[in-house]
Amino acid sequence: MGLKNTNDCYYRITHVDVPDSRVHVELFEDLAISLRPLTRFERKLTDSIHCGNLADELAEMADAGKSIRDNLWTAAYLALKNEPPYREMEDVFEEGQP
């Protein structure tokens, strides 16, 4: 699960720092590049953003009946979607994910 901006760049969550309410992401030129090893001339950028409502999203996911990892990733994704500029980005599901 990730996000795509208007330039078709793909953002993928890589880490969630719960105590600091930070969500870390990787940025790729497009989804296809994110799904394979990078070539010598390709790169990924990394970033993190403080998500003020991460704790609230985690609290809501606590009773979702999924694994802790799934709850954490879903909560991070929903919290990220509430922060500009991610708010306006399109949802993207990687192949093989539900």
Catalogue the E-assigned strands of 1-98.
Answer: 2-4, 10-17, 22-28, 45-50, 90-92
Residue 97 has pLDDT above 60, yes or no: no
Domain boundaries, the chain: 2-92
Q: Quick check: pTM over 0.85?
A: no
Model confidence pLDDT, tens digit, residues 32-72: 888 888 888 888 899 999 999 999 999 988 877 778 888 89
* Alpha-carbon distances, residue 59 vs 48, 80, 87, 94 (angstroms): 21, 15, 21, 26
Residue 95 has pLDDT above 60, yes or no: no
Average pLDDT taken over every residue of the chain: 87
